[in-house]
């Protein structure tokens, strides 16, 4: 009688006893024999040793004086009558052949199918700078072959180097953040500085008006100037605007009054549009007078507000002005937003007046109701 296992499993492990019973002379006798069954790995699955540690992913980084521990962990598949060996070499020598203090302890564990894991723990109690430069190699061998793996050992960077690197990194990060903040919020920063530290430009300058507005008459731009610009600049920010058709006296000479108004103003605000270019002498006279005043005397600044894009710039004075001056673009409904870029850019271009409500608006934003009603 034979006992056969079609597929050997670990659960088949155990002691199997064969019992034979036979009668003789009126008595019954029992014969037994016990056989131990142990399921092990198949010879077909046998492999050379596999080194789990050291590996390429772990670096043993130590300072001189610290303890260095490096495990040499190797897995051996079951191989009958095979001798499994694990050992260390340091700079090509076994630990017993070296002169420095090294301890190696070995432990062995077996799996249910007799696979073996051997671990040799290399230990140096107080590692030196020289020890950290040595080459530590884990070796393993069985009947299927021999393998080895070097441990990655290095000296820790000095703390001052780490601190210096962290400090430099933090400085670079801070500079980048400041650049980004300045790029995004430079208008707000300028307005904050003007509101708190700016010098009042209106003190003893002999000017009567803050802004002279030059625009195309009898056009859509006139409504924009009289309602939107005038409403916000005068009512919200307390600036005094000079609008020729409103402030000039009847019967006066247009040329003389225009030049007089411009000389009495701190800024010349030009509302650019296709109609402005087509306008006759009045608008161009205002522009030319302002540019000449700015170039020769320097006591007036010209502000260009683009109400609508001008495709062809045939007027040489206007063409020259656009090349040297910043153009503030009005973008319709989008520009009416109180915290919008248009009003902040315009605010920066305006004269600093401590007595006006402009400084407060620089921090609090415009009253949206005032724009909504414009």
Strand (E) or helix (H) holding 299: none
CB atoms within 10 A of CB 327: 14
Tokens 């009958």 -> residue: 80
Does 217 share its domain with 268? yes
Q: List CB contacts of 207: < 8 A, sequence separation 6 or more.
A: 264, 265, 266
- Give a yes or no: residue 37 inside a domain: no
Mutual angle of helices 254-263 and 281-296, in 10-degree steps = 40
Residues β-bridged to residue 34: 17
Which pTM value belongs to this model?
A: 0.51
Lowest average pLDDT, out of 39-48, 61-70, 83-92, 106-115, goes to: 39-48
Say which CATH number the domain at 264 has. Answer: 3.40.50.10140
pLDDT tens, residue by residue, 106-155? 999 998 888 999 999 999 999 999 999 999 999 999 999 999 999 999 99
Is 213 a member of any domain?
yes
- H helices of the chain, in order, are 159-197, 220-223, 230, 244-247, 254-263, 274-278, 281-296, 316-324, 341-349, 358-364, 368-372
Domain that holds residue 183: 158-198
pLDDT at 370 over 50: no
Residue 33 within any structural domain of the chain: no
Q: Which residues contact 216 (CB under 8 A, 6 or more apart)?
A: 222, 271, 273, 275, 276, 278, 279, 283
Position 338 scores a pLDDT of 60
Residue 67 falls in the annotated catalytic set: no
Identify whether residues 207 and 193 lie together within a single domain: no
| Catalytic option among 146, 236, 286, 317 | 286
Q: Structurally, how many domains does the chain consist of?
A: 3
Specify if 310 maps to a domain.
Answer: yes
> 49 and 172: one domain?
no
CA distances from 102 to 68, 89, 134 (A): 10, 11, 13
DSSP bridge pairs for 118: 74, 108
* CATH code for the domain of 121: 2.60.40.10
pLDDT tens digits along 263-289: 899 999 999 888 887 766 577 778 777
Q: What angle do CA 150, 155, 160 make, to 5 degrees?
A: 155
Confirm whether 35 is domain-assigned: no
Structural domain includes residue 171 = yes
Judged by DSSP in three states, 337 sits in: coil
Under a CB-based contact definition with an 8 Å cutoff, are residues 48 and 131 in contact?
no
Same domain, 137 and 168: no
The reported pLDDT for the residue numbered 371 is 53
Do residues 178 and 237 share a domain? no
Read off φ and ψ for residue 189, nearest 5 degrees: -65, -40
Q: Say whether both 289 and 358 belong to one domain.
A: yes
Q: Is 7 within a domain?
A: no
CA–CA dist 37, 47 (Å, integer): 24
CA dihedral 197, 202, 205, 207 (to 10 degrees): 160
Q: Do both 182 and 146 map to the same domain? A: no
């Amino acid at each position: 009688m034979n006992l056969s296992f079609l597929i050997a499993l670990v659960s088949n492990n155990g002691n199997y006893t064969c019992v034979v019973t036979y009668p003789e002379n009126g008595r019954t006798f029992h014969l037994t024999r016990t056989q131990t069954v142990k399921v092990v790995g198949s010879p077909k699955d046998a492999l050379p040793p596999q080194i789990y540690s050291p590996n390429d992913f772990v670096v043993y980084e130590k300072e001189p004086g610290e303890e260095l521990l490096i495990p040499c962990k190797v897995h051996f598949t079951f191989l009958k009558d095979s001798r499994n060996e694990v050992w260390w070499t340091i700079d090509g020598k076994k630990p017993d052949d070296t002169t420095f203090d090294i301890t190696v302890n070995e432990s062995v564990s077996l799996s249910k199918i007799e696979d073996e894991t051997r671990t040799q723990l290399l230990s140096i109690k107080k590692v030196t700078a020289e020890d950290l430069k040595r080459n530590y190699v884990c070796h393993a061998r069985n009947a299927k072959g021999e393998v080895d793996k070097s441990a990655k050992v290095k000296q820790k960077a000095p703390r001052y180097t780490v601190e210096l690197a962290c400090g430099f990194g933090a400085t670079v990060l801070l500079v980048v953040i400041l650049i980004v903040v300045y790029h995004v919020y430079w208008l707000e920063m300028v307005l904050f500085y003007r509101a708190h530290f700016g010098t009042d430009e209106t003190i003893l300058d002999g000017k009567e008006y803050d802004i002279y507005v030059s625009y195309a008459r009898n056009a859509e731009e006139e409504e924009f100037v009289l309602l939107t610009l005038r409403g916000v600049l005068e009512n919200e920010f307390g600036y005094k605007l000079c609008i020729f058709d409103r402030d000039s006296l009847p019967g006066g000479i247009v040329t003389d009054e225009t030049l007089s108004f411009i000389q009495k103003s701190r800024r010349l605000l030009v509302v650019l549009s296709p109609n402005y270019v087509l306008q006759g002498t009045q608008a161009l006279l205002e522009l030319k007078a302002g540019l000449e005043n700015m170039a020769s005397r320097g006591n007036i600044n010209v502000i260009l507000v683009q109400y609508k894009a001008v495709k062809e710039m045939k007027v040489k004075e206007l063409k020259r002005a656009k090349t040297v001056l910043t153009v503030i673009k009005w973008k319709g409904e989008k520009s009416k937003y109180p915290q919008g870029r248009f009003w902040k850019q315009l605010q920066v271009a305006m004269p600093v007046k401590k007595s006006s409500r402009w400084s407060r608006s620089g921090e609090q934003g415009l009253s949206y109701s005032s724009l909504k009603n414009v």
